[in-house]
Amino acid sequence: MPIPRDKMDCIIKSVIEDLHIDLVYHEWFVQTVASCNEERRPSQAEIAEILRELLQTGEVEIGRTERKPDYLEFIAWRGTVDERVKRAMTNIDSTRGLERAFCYWLCLRKNIDRYEDTEESLSSPISSFGDKIVGELCHRIVRKQERRGLENERKQS
């Protein structure tokens, strides 16, 4: 059953707002979707539907990251929308634990660093994360959650 238009609009708007602040990884995306859907985690079919709609906006790209000395480099995947969504879903299915949380990333098209090479797209690598990057990402999660909490407090007052 398709996601109702009003919920889809809420999700798309929320994800794009998050992308104006930073990159969004799979688990953050799932939590954003849940926040627009009575805190219910999305099914695999819903994740695919939402990713497809996000990519079709032309504002959002999906891909992976690579650790650079000063930042995370965003490498956008090549292919049709359906191919990229299928690749994301395959990455979700083939990973577990912390690696699954980061099995794909979303980025505003205007902020991508580069597109992957053809050879990279064939191997579909998933970024490996050391302790330092996980720590940095956890710090970002906390900051985003704090900002969201402040925004929600302002809305309620």
Rounded distance between C-alpha atoms, residue 46 and residue 8, angstroms: 10
Helix then strand then coil, % of the chain, to nearest 5: 60, 15, 25
Given this model, what pLDDT does residue 2 score?
A: 83
pLDDT class of 132 with cuts at 50, 70, 90: very low
Residues comprising the chain, all counted? 157
pLDDT class of 77 with cuts at 50, 70, 90: very high
Q: pLDDT exceeding 90 applies to what percent of the chain?
A: 59
The phi, psi pair for 146, rounded to 5°, reads -65, -45
pTM: 0.75
Query: Each residue of 79-126: pLDDT tens digit?
Result: 999 999 999 999 999 999 889 999 999 999 999 999 998 655 544 444
SS3 state of residue 77: coil
Query: Strand 60-67 vs strand 105-108: parallel, antiparallel, or unpaired?
Result: antiparallel
